[in-house]
Structure 1
Amino acid sequence: MIQLTAAAAFFVMIHLLISGTSVRDGVVRRIGEGPYMALFSLLSVAGLTWMIMAYGQARGEVWNTVYWGVGPATRHTQILLQLIAVFFIVIGLTTPNPTSVKQEGVLEREDAVKGMLRITRHPFLWGVALWASGHLIVNGDRASMTLFGTLLVLALAGTTSIDAKRRRALGDRWEAFAQQTSNIPFAAILAQRQSLKLGEIGLWRALAALAVYVGLLLGHPYMFGVAALP
Protein backbone atom coordinates (compact mmCIF):
# COMPACT_ATOMS: atom_id res chain seq x y z
CA MET A 1 0.00 0.00 0.00
CA ILE A 2 2.92 2.33 0.68
CA GLN A 3 4.16 2.09 -2.91
CA LEU A 4 0.71 2.73 -4.38
CA THR A 5 0.00 5.62 -2.02
CA ALA A 6 3.39 7.19 -2.75
CA ALA A 7 2.88 6.82 -6.51
CA ALA A 8 -0.60 8.35 -6.31
CA ALA A 9 0.68 11.26 -4.21
CA PHE A 10 3.52 11.89 -6.66
CA PHE A 11 1.16 11.88 -9.65
CA VAL A 12 -1.23 14.31 -7.96
CA MET A 13 1.62 16.56 -6.80
CA ILE A 14 3.17 17.10 -10.22
CA HIS A 15 -0.23 17.96 -11.70
CA LEU A 16 -1.90 20.06 -9.01
CA LEU A 17 1.02 21.51 -7.07
CA ILE A 18 3.31 22.20 -10.03
CA SER A 19 1.50 22.17 -13.39
CA GLY A 20 -1.67 23.68 -11.96
CA THR A 21 -0.13 26.57 -10.02
CA SER A 22 2.10 29.60 -10.47
CA VAL A 23 5.05 27.29 -9.74
CA ARG A 24 4.75 26.21 -13.36
CA ASP A 25 5.00 29.82 -14.53
CA GLY A 26 8.21 30.29 -12.54
CA VAL A 27 9.78 27.11 -13.91
CA VAL A 28 8.86 28.07 -17.48
CA ARG A 29 10.50 31.48 -17.03
CA ARG A 30 13.69 29.77 -15.88
CA ILE A 31 14.05 26.92 -18.37
CA GLY A 32 11.61 27.75 -21.18
CA GLU A 33 8.30 26.27 -22.34
CA GLY A 34 9.79 23.45 -24.44
CA PRO A 35 12.13 22.00 -21.79
CA TYR A 36 9.38 22.32 -19.16
CA MET A 37 6.88 20.38 -21.29
CA ALA A 38 9.45 17.67 -22.01
CA LEU A 39 10.31 17.34 -18.31
CA PHE A 40 6.67 17.39 -17.22
CA SER A 41 5.73 14.75 -19.82
CA LEU A 42 8.57 12.52 -18.64
CA LEU A 43 7.53 12.87 -15.00
CA SER A 44 3.89 12.20 -15.89
CA VAL A 45 4.68 9.01 -17.78
CA ALA A 46 7.00 7.87 -15.00
CA GLY A 47 4.39 8.64 -12.33
CA LEU A 48 1.57 6.89 -14.18
CA THR A 49 3.75 3.84 -14.87
CA TRP A 50 4.77 3.68 -11.21
CA MET A 51 1.16 3.93 -10.09
CA ILE A 52 -0.06 1.20 -12.47
CA MET A 53 2.75 -1.17 -11.49
CA ALA A 54 2.14 -0.53 -7.79
CA TYR A 55 -1.57 -1.14 -8.32
CA GLY A 56 -0.93 -4.47 -10.01
CA GLN A 57 1.21 -5.58 -7.10
CA ALA A 58 -1.17 -4.23 -4.44
CA ARG A 59 -4.24 -6.09 -5.75
CA GLY A 60 -2.77 -9.41 -4.63
CA GLU A 61 -1.70 -8.28 -1.16
CA VAL A 62 -3.47 -9.60 1.95
CA TRP A 63 -4.27 -6.10 3.18
CA ASN A 64 -6.27 -5.29 0.03
CA THR A 65 -9.68 -5.40 1.68
CA VAL A 66 -12.76 -5.61 -0.56
CA TYR A 67 -15.51 -3.28 0.72
CA TRP A 68 -18.29 -4.06 -1.77
CA GLY A 69 -19.13 -6.67 -4.38
CA VAL A 70 -20.35 -6.40 -7.93
CA GLY A 71 -23.85 -7.27 -9.14
CA PRO A 72 -25.59 -7.22 -12.53
CA ALA A 73 -26.88 -3.67 -12.00
CA THR A 74 -23.44 -2.25 -11.27
CA ARG A 75 -21.90 -4.08 -14.23
CA HIS A 76 -24.49 -2.69 -16.65
CA THR A 77 -24.11 0.79 -15.13
CA GLN A 78 -20.37 0.51 -15.64
CA ILE A 79 -20.79 -0.44 -19.31
CA LEU A 80 -23.01 2.61 -19.91
CA LEU A 81 -20.64 4.94 -18.06
CA GLN A 82 -17.70 3.69 -20.10
CA LEU A 83 -19.59 4.34 -23.34
CA ILE A 84 -20.20 7.96 -22.32
CA ALA A 85 -16.64 8.29 -21.01
CA VAL A 86 -15.06 7.02 -24.22
CA PHE A 87 -17.20 9.39 -26.30
CA PHE A 88 -16.12 12.35 -24.15
CA ILE A 89 -12.46 11.28 -24.26
CA VAL A 90 -12.14 10.49 -27.98
CA ILE A 91 -14.26 13.39 -29.20
CA GLY A 92 -12.56 15.69 -26.71
CA LEU A 93 -9.08 14.71 -27.88
CA THR A 94 -9.98 15.25 -31.54
CA THR A 95 -11.78 18.59 -31.11
CA PRO A 96 -9.68 21.79 -31.31
CA ASN A 97 -9.77 23.21 -27.79
CA PRO A 98 -7.92 26.15 -26.18
CA THR A 99 -7.79 24.21 -22.90
CA SER A 100 -5.48 21.67 -24.58
CA VAL A 101 -1.70 21.95 -24.78
CA LYS A 102 -0.47 24.31 -27.51
CA GLN A 103 -3.99 25.01 -28.79
CA GLU A 104 -4.49 28.51 -27.40
CA GLY A 105 -4.71 29.77 -30.99
CA VAL A 106 -8.20 28.28 -31.24
CA LEU A 107 -9.40 31.37 -29.37
CA GLU A 108 -8.71 33.43 -32.48
CA ARG A 109 -11.29 31.50 -34.50
CA GLU A 110 -14.82 32.76 -34.94
CA ASP A 111 -16.08 29.23 -34.29
CA ALA A 112 -13.90 28.56 -31.24
CA VAL A 113 -16.91 27.23 -29.35
CA LYS A 114 -18.06 24.35 -31.47
CA GLY A 115 -19.28 20.78 -31.17
CA MET A 116 -18.34 19.14 -27.89
CA LEU A 117 -17.17 22.48 -26.46
CA ARG A 118 -20.80 23.59 -26.35
CA ILE A 119 -21.32 20.79 -23.81
CA THR A 120 -18.15 21.35 -21.76
CA ARG A 121 -14.81 23.03 -22.33
CA HIS A 122 -13.11 20.05 -20.62
CA PRO A 123 -14.51 16.98 -22.41
CA PHE A 124 -11.37 14.87 -22.00
CA LEU A 125 -11.11 15.39 -18.25
CA TRP A 126 -14.82 14.78 -17.70
CA GLY A 127 -14.43 11.60 -19.74
CA VAL A 128 -11.59 10.49 -17.47
CA ALA A 129 -13.75 11.32 -14.44
CA LEU A 130 -16.59 9.15 -15.77
CA TRP A 131 -14.14 6.38 -16.65
CA ALA A 132 -12.67 6.41 -13.14
CA SER A 133 -16.13 6.57 -11.52
CA GLY A 134 -17.28 3.54 -13.48
CA HIS A 135 -14.23 1.55 -12.47
CA LEU A 136 -14.74 2.51 -8.84
CA ILE A 137 -18.25 1.08 -8.67
CA VAL A 138 -17.10 -2.33 -9.95
CA ASN A 139 -13.82 -2.43 -8.00
CA GLY A 140 -14.50 -2.13 -4.28
CA ASP A 141 -11.02 -3.01 -3.00
CA ARG A 142 -8.60 -0.60 -1.30
CA ALA A 143 -6.06 -0.66 -4.11
CA SER A 144 -8.68 0.20 -6.74
CA MET A 145 -10.10 2.94 -4.56
CA THR A 146 -6.63 4.47 -4.35
CA LEU A 147 -5.90 4.24 -8.08
CA PHE A 148 -9.27 5.17 -9.56
CA GLY A 149 -10.10 7.57 -6.73
CA THR A 150 -6.85 9.43 -7.41
CA LEU A 151 -7.58 9.70 -11.12
CA LEU A 152 -11.16 10.84 -10.42
CA VAL A 153 -10.06 13.59 -8.05
CA LEU A 154 -7.24 14.65 -10.36
CA ALA A 155 -9.55 14.86 -13.38
CA LEU A 156 -12.14 16.97 -11.57
CA ALA A 157 -9.56 19.22 -9.94
CA GLY A 158 -7.75 19.50 -13.26
CA THR A 159 -10.69 21.30 -14.85
CA THR A 160 -10.48 24.21 -12.41
CA SER A 161 -6.68 24.11 -12.42
CA ILE A 162 -6.54 24.49 -16.21
CA ASP A 163 -9.11 27.28 -16.09
CA ALA A 164 -6.96 29.20 -13.60
CA LYS A 165 -3.81 28.60 -15.67
CA ARG A 166 -5.44 29.78 -18.89
CA ARG A 167 -6.93 32.80 -17.12
CA ARG A 168 -3.46 33.87 -15.93
CA ALA A 169 -1.90 33.36 -19.35
CA LEU A 170 -4.62 34.58 -21.71
CA GLY A 171 -6.57 37.19 -19.76
CA ASP A 172 -9.54 38.73 -21.56
CA ARG A 173 -9.35 36.29 -24.48
CA TRP A 174 -9.89 33.44 -22.06
CA GLU A 175 -12.68 35.22 -20.20
CA ALA A 176 -14.64 35.69 -23.42
CA PHE A 177 -14.33 31.97 -24.18
CA ALA A 178 -15.18 30.92 -20.62
CA GLN A 179 -18.33 33.04 -20.59
CA GLN A 180 -19.62 31.19 -23.66
CA THR A 181 -18.84 27.73 -22.29
CA SER A 182 -19.06 25.78 -19.04
CA ASN A 183 -16.85 23.47 -17.04
CA ILE A 184 -19.73 21.26 -15.85
CA PRO A 185 -21.23 19.38 -18.81
CA PHE A 186 -24.43 20.93 -20.23
CA ALA A 187 -24.38 23.83 -17.72
CA ALA A 188 -23.94 26.46 -20.45
CA ILE A 189 -26.75 24.89 -22.46
CA LEU A 190 -29.09 24.81 -19.46
CA ALA A 191 -28.18 28.44 -18.74
CA GLN A 192 -29.03 29.24 -22.39
CA ARG A 193 -25.52 30.55 -23.09
CA GLN A 194 -25.17 27.76 -25.64
CA SER A 195 -27.30 25.47 -27.76
CA LEU A 196 -26.74 21.77 -28.37
CA LYS A 197 -25.60 21.15 -31.95
CA LEU A 198 -24.67 17.49 -32.23
CA GLY A 199 -24.03 17.81 -35.97
CA GLU A 200 -20.98 19.95 -35.26
CA ILE A 201 -19.30 17.11 -33.39
CA GLY A 202 -18.68 15.24 -36.63
CA LEU A 203 -19.82 11.77 -37.57
CA TRP A 204 -16.24 10.53 -37.91
CA ARG A 205 -15.49 11.46 -34.30
CA ALA A 206 -18.56 9.59 -33.07
CA LEU A 207 -17.66 6.54 -35.16
CA ALA A 208 -14.07 6.65 -33.93
CA ALA A 209 -15.29 6.78 -30.33
CA LEU A 210 -17.63 3.85 -30.93
CA ALA A 211 -14.80 1.83 -32.48
CA VAL A 212 -12.55 2.51 -29.49
CA TYR A 213 -15.34 1.55 -27.11
CA VAL A 214 -16.05 -1.75 -28.88
CA GLY A 215 -12.32 -2.47 -29.06
CA LEU A 216 -11.94 -1.92 -25.32
CA LEU A 217 -14.96 -4.07 -24.51
CA LEU A 218 -13.74 -6.99 -26.57
CA GLY A 219 -10.05 -6.57 -25.81
CA HIS A 220 -10.36 -5.93 -22.07
CA PRO A 221 -9.70 -9.56 -21.02
CA TYR A 222 -6.54 -9.68 -23.14
CA MET A 223 -5.22 -6.24 -22.18
CA PHE A 224 -6.12 -6.20 -18.48
CA GLY A 225 -6.97 -9.78 -17.57
CA VAL A 226 -10.56 -8.97 -16.60
CA ALA A 227 -13.72 -9.32 -18.71
CA ALA A 228 -15.58 -6.04 -19.23
CA LEU A 229 -18.82 -7.66 -20.35
CA PRO A 230 -21.07 -9.38 -17.75
Structure 2
Amino acid sequence: MQPMSLLITTCVLFVGSHLVLSHPLRAPLADRLGERGFQIVYSVVALATFIMLVQAWRGMPAEPPLWAVGDPLWAFATLIVLFASVLFAGSLVGNPALPSPAAALTAQGAPRGVYAVTRHPMMWSFALWALAHVLVVPTAAQIVLSATIAFLALVGSAGQDVKKARLMGDAWRHWAARTSFVPFARQVSGQTPWGDTIPRDRALFGGIALWLVATWGHGALGYMAAGIWRWLG
Protein backbone atom coordinates (compact mmCIF):
# COMPACT_ATOMS: atom_id res chain seq x y z
CA MET A 1 0.00 0.00 0.00
CA GLN A 2 1.26 3.47 -0.86
CA PRO A 3 2.25 5.64 2.15
CA MET A 4 -0.57 8.18 1.60
CA SER A 5 -3.14 5.41 1.14
CA LEU A 6 -1.94 3.81 4.38
CA LEU A 7 -2.17 7.13 6.21
CA ILE A 8 -5.72 7.75 4.99
CA THR A 9 -6.74 4.19 5.90
CA THR A 10 -5.42 4.49 9.44
CA CYS A 11 -7.11 7.88 9.81
CA VAL A 12 -10.43 6.33 8.80
CA LEU A 13 -9.91 3.48 11.27
CA PHE A 14 -9.02 5.90 14.06
CA VAL A 15 -12.03 8.16 13.52
CA GLY A 16 -14.45 5.38 12.64
CA SER A 17 -13.65 3.27 15.71
CA HIS A 18 -14.07 6.30 17.98
CA LEU A 19 -17.44 7.26 16.52
CA VAL A 20 -18.81 3.71 16.39
CA LEU A 21 -17.74 2.87 19.94
CA SER A 22 -18.92 6.23 21.29
CA HIS A 23 -22.42 5.99 19.85
CA PRO A 24 -24.11 2.94 18.25
CA LEU A 25 -22.01 0.26 19.99
CA ARG A 26 -21.58 1.96 23.36
CA ALA A 27 -24.87 0.90 24.98
CA PRO A 28 -24.87 -2.76 23.86
CA LEU A 29 -21.19 -3.24 24.73
CA ALA A 30 -21.58 -1.54 28.10
CA ASP A 31 -24.58 -3.75 28.88
CA ARG A 32 -22.61 -6.87 28.04
CA LEU A 33 -19.18 -5.93 29.42
CA GLY A 34 -20.11 -3.48 32.13
CA GLU A 35 -19.01 0.15 32.11
CA ARG A 36 -15.47 -0.69 33.24
CA GLY A 37 -15.13 -3.46 30.67
CA PHE A 38 -16.36 -1.15 27.94
CA GLN A 39 -13.86 1.55 28.93
CA ILE A 40 -11.05 -1.01 28.71
CA VAL A 41 -12.12 -2.09 25.22
CA TYR A 42 -12.54 1.52 24.13
CA SER A 43 -9.09 2.47 25.44
CA VAL A 44 -7.37 -0.51 23.81
CA VAL A 45 -8.98 0.17 20.42
CA ALA A 46 -8.25 3.91 20.67
CA LEU A 47 -4.61 3.30 21.58
CA ALA A 48 -4.11 0.64 18.90
CA THR A 49 -5.59 2.75 16.10
CA PHE A 50 -3.69 5.83 17.30
CA ILE A 51 -0.37 3.93 17.21
CA MET A 52 -1.20 2.73 13.70
CA LEU A 53 -1.96 6.31 12.67
CA VAL A 54 1.27 7.67 14.12
CA GLN A 55 3.35 4.95 12.48
CA ALA A 56 1.70 5.62 9.10
CA TRP A 57 2.34 9.36 9.47
CA ARG A 58 5.98 8.79 10.38
CA GLY A 59 6.36 6.55 7.35
CA MET A 60 5.40 9.33 4.95
CA PRO A 61 8.23 10.43 2.65
CA ALA A 62 9.49 14.02 2.78
CA GLU A 63 7.17 16.41 0.97
CA PRO A 64 7.70 19.95 -0.29
CA PRO A 65 5.57 22.58 1.51
CA LEU A 66 2.47 23.80 -0.29
CA TRP A 67 3.17 27.42 0.69
CA ALA A 68 5.98 29.47 2.18
CA VAL A 69 6.07 29.73 5.96
CA GLY A 70 7.70 32.82 7.42
CA ASP A 71 7.79 34.48 10.83
CA PRO A 72 4.36 36.18 10.51
CA LEU A 73 2.64 32.84 9.91
CA TRP A 74 4.62 31.22 12.72
CA ALA A 75 3.60 34.04 15.08
CA PHE A 76 -0.07 33.62 14.11
CA ALA A 77 0.08 29.85 14.61
CA THR A 78 1.81 30.36 17.97
CA LEU A 79 -1.04 32.59 19.16
CA ILE A 80 -3.58 30.00 18.01
CA VAL A 81 -1.81 27.31 20.05
CA LEU A 82 -1.68 29.64 23.07
CA PHE A 83 -5.43 30.23 22.81
CA ALA A 84 -6.02 26.49 22.37
CA SER A 85 -3.92 25.80 25.48
CA VAL A 86 -6.02 28.22 27.54
CA LEU A 87 -9.20 26.54 26.29
CA PHE A 88 -7.82 23.11 27.19
CA ALA A 89 -6.64 24.12 30.67
CA GLY A 90 -9.97 25.79 31.41
CA SER A 91 -11.93 22.76 30.21
CA LEU A 92 -10.48 20.51 32.92
CA VAL A 93 -12.50 22.12 35.74
CA GLY A 94 -16.25 22.73 35.88
CA ASN A 95 -16.99 21.11 32.52
CA PRO A 96 -20.51 19.63 32.25
CA ALA A 97 -19.45 17.82 29.07
CA LEU A 98 -17.07 15.59 31.03
CA PRO A 99 -18.44 12.44 32.70
CA SER A 100 -19.16 13.39 36.29
CA PRO A 101 -21.94 12.75 38.83
CA ALA A 102 -22.01 16.52 39.37
CA ALA A 103 -22.39 17.38 35.67
CA ALA A 104 -26.05 18.39 35.96
CA LEU A 105 -25.30 20.64 38.94
CA THR A 106 -22.31 22.18 37.14
CA ALA A 107 -24.50 22.93 34.13
CA GLN A 108 -26.69 25.17 36.29
CA GLY A 109 -23.87 27.68 36.76
CA ALA A 110 -23.40 30.77 34.64
CA PRO A 111 -21.06 30.16 31.68
CA ARG A 112 -17.90 32.15 32.32
CA GLY A 113 -14.37 32.12 30.95
CA VAL A 114 -13.76 29.38 28.38
CA TYR A 115 -17.38 28.20 28.67
CA ALA A 116 -18.57 31.64 27.59
CA VAL A 117 -16.39 31.15 24.51
CA THR A 118 -17.74 27.68 23.66
CA ARG A 119 -19.37 24.82 25.55
CA HIS A 120 -16.75 22.47 24.07
CA PRO A 121 -13.43 24.18 24.90
CA MET A 122 -11.48 20.92 25.05
CA MET A 123 -12.61 19.74 21.63
CA TRP A 124 -12.01 23.15 20.05
CA SER A 125 -8.51 23.18 21.55
CA PHE A 126 -7.73 20.01 19.56
CA ALA A 127 -9.21 21.48 16.37
CA LEU A 128 -7.23 24.71 16.76
CA TRP A 129 -4.05 22.74 17.49
CA ALA A 130 -4.64 20.89 14.21
CA LEU A 131 -5.16 24.16 12.32
CA ALA A 132 -1.93 25.66 13.69
CA HIS A 133 0.06 22.66 12.54
CA VAL A 134 -1.30 22.89 9.01
CA LEU A 135 -0.34 26.57 8.84
CA VAL A 136 3.33 25.92 9.63
CA VAL A 137 3.70 22.40 8.19
CA PRO A 138 1.79 22.71 4.91
CA THR A 139 2.25 19.22 3.53
CA ALA A 140 -0.33 16.75 2.29
CA ALA A 141 0.41 14.34 5.13
CA GLN A 142 0.02 17.02 7.79
CA ILE A 143 -3.24 18.23 6.23
CA VAL A 144 -4.65 14.69 6.31
CA LEU A 145 -3.56 14.17 9.92
CA SER A 146 -4.82 17.57 11.12
CA ALA A 147 -8.10 17.23 9.24
CA THR A 148 -8.61 13.87 10.95
CA ILE A 149 -8.05 15.34 14.41
CA ALA A 150 -10.24 18.38 13.75
CA PHE A 151 -13.02 16.26 12.24
CA LEU A 152 -13.04 13.86 15.18
CA ALA A 153 -13.02 16.72 17.69
CA LEU A 154 -15.85 18.72 16.12
CA VAL A 155 -18.04 15.84 14.99
CA GLY A 156 -17.45 14.26 18.38
CA SER A 157 -18.61 17.49 20.02
CA ALA A 158 -21.82 17.49 18.00
CA GLY A 159 -22.42 13.87 18.99
CA GLN A 160 -21.70 14.76 22.59
CA ASP A 161 -24.45 17.41 22.48
CA VAL A 162 -26.95 14.75 21.44
CA LYS A 163 -25.74 12.23 24.01
CA LYS A 164 -25.66 14.73 26.86
CA ALA A 165 -29.16 15.96 26.04
CA ARG A 166 -30.35 12.34 26.29
CA LEU A 167 -28.48 11.62 29.53
CA MET A 168 -28.91 14.96 31.33
CA GLY A 169 -32.18 16.15 29.84
CA ASP A 170 -33.17 19.72 30.63
CA ALA A 171 -29.94 20.37 32.54
CA TRP A 172 -27.91 20.02 29.35
CA ARG A 173 -30.48 21.71 27.14
CA HIS A 174 -30.47 24.78 29.40
CA TRP A 175 -26.67 24.78 29.38
CA ALA A 176 -26.62 24.51 25.59
CA ALA A 177 -29.12 27.38 25.31
CA ARG A 178 -26.78 29.65 27.30
CA THR A 179 -23.60 28.64 25.46
CA SER A 180 -22.49 28.29 21.85
CA PHE A 181 -20.93 25.50 19.84
CA VAL A 182 -18.86 27.87 17.68
CA PRO A 183 -16.37 29.97 19.67
CA PHE A 184 -17.50 33.55 20.34
CA ALA A 185 -20.77 33.07 18.43
CA ARG A 186 -22.86 34.49 21.28
CA GLN A 187 -20.57 37.51 21.65
CA VAL A 188 -20.65 38.28 17.93
CA SER A 189 -24.46 38.02 17.92
CA GLY A 190 -24.71 40.31 20.96
CA GLN A 191 -26.30 37.68 23.22
CA THR A 192 -23.44 37.58 25.72
CA PRO A 193 -21.00 40.34 26.75
CA TRP A 194 -17.39 39.94 25.71
CA GLY A 195 -16.27 40.41 29.29
CA ASP A 196 -17.68 36.99 30.21
CA THR A 197 -15.01 35.35 28.05
CA ILE A 198 -12.09 36.60 30.18
CA PRO A 199 -10.41 33.36 31.31
CA ARG A 200 -10.24 32.43 34.98
CA ASP A 201 -6.82 32.28 36.61
CA ARG A 202 -6.52 28.50 36.36
CA ALA A 203 -7.33 28.59 32.64
CA LEU A 204 -5.06 31.55 31.88
CA PHE A 205 -1.99 30.55 33.89
CA GLY A 206 -2.49 26.83 33.36
CA GLY A 207 -2.84 27.42 29.63
CA ILE A 208 0.27 29.59 29.47
CA ALA A 209 2.25 26.96 31.39
CA LEU A 210 0.98 24.18 29.11
CA TRP A 211 1.81 26.25 26.03
CA LEU A 212 5.36 26.98 27.24
CA VAL A 213 6.08 23.36 28.19
CA ALA A 214 4.51 21.85 25.07
CA THR A 215 6.25 24.20 22.64
CA TRP A 216 9.57 23.75 24.46
CA GLY A 217 9.13 19.98 24.31
CA HIS A 218 8.50 20.25 20.58
CA GLY A 219 12.11 21.26 20.03
CA ALA A 220 13.55 19.22 22.90
CA LEU A 221 12.17 16.01 21.39
CA GLY A 222 13.90 16.67 18.09
CA TYR A 223 11.11 18.31 16.14
CA MET A 224 11.27 21.85 14.78
CA ALA A 225 11.41 24.64 17.35
CA ALA A 226 7.95 26.02 18.10
CA GLY A 227 6.34 28.85 20.02
CA ILE A 228 8.51 31.57 21.47
CA TRP A 229 11.40 29.09 21.58
CA ARG A 230 11.66 29.49 17.83
CA TRP A 231 12.94 33.02 18.38
CA LEU A 232 14.70 32.49 21.72
CA GLY A 233 16.80 29.52 20.64
Whether these two folds match at TM > 0.5 is yes
Deviation per CA, 1:72-101, whole angstroms, max 9, x where unpaired?
222121111111111111221x2221211x
Residue 39 of structure 1, aligned match among 38, 41, 53: 41
Question: Any idea what SS the aligned residue of 1:48 has?
Answer: helix
Q: Please say if 1:56 is aligned against 2:58.
A: yes
The 8 Å contact of residues 96 and 103 in structure 1, kept in 2 or not, is answered as no
Deviation per CA, 1:177-219, whole angstroms, max 9, x where unpaired?
21121111122344455444356x4313311211111122323
Distance 2:71 2:159 in 1: 37
Distance 1:70 1:80 in 2: 15
Deviation per CA, 1:94-130, whole angstroms, max 9, x where unpaired?
2221211x22522224426343212211001111111
Structure 1 unaligned runs (5+)?
Answer: none
Who is 2:7 aligned against? 4
Who is 2:24 aligned against? 22
Q: Please say if 1:105 is aligned against 2:117.
A: no
Distance 2:72 2:187 in 1: 30
Structure 2 unaligned runs (5+)?
Answer: none
Distance 2:28 2:188 in 1: 38
Distance 1:17 1:226 in 2: 35
Distance 2:38 2:65 in 1: 40
Distance 2:24 2:167 in 1: 10
Who is 1:13 aligned against? 16
The 8 Å contact of residues 130 and 149 in structure 2, kept in 1 or not, is answered as yes
Report deviation, 1:135.
0.3
Question: Any idea what SS the aligned residue of 1:197 has?
Answer: helix
Deviation per CA, 1:145-191, whole angstroms, max 9, x where unpaired?
11111111111212101111112222222212211211111223444
Distance 1:26 1:198 in 2: 40
Who is 2:87 aligned against? 88
Distance 1:140 1:190 in 2: 30
Residue identity opposite 1:105 in structure 2: A
Distance 2:113 2:169 in 1: 24
Distance 1:80 1:14, change over 3 A: same
The 8 Å contact of residues 86 and 212 in structure 1, kept in 2 or not, is answered as yes
Report deviation, 1:65.
5.4
Superposed, which structure 2 residues align to 1:186-205 within 5 Å?
186-191=184-189, 193-195=191-193, 196-197=195-196, 201-205=199-203
Residue identity opposite 1:156 in structure 2: L
Residue identity opposite 2:66 in structure 1: Y
Residue 144 of structure 1, aligned match among 142, 145, 154: 142
Report deviation, 1:36.
1.2
Distance 2:32 2:125 in 1: 34
Who is 2:223 aligned against? 225
Distance 1:24 1:142 in 2: 33
User: What TM-score do the two structures reach when normalised by structure 2?
Assistant: 0.85
The 8 Å contact of residues 65 and 141 in structure 1, kept in 2 or not, is answered as yes
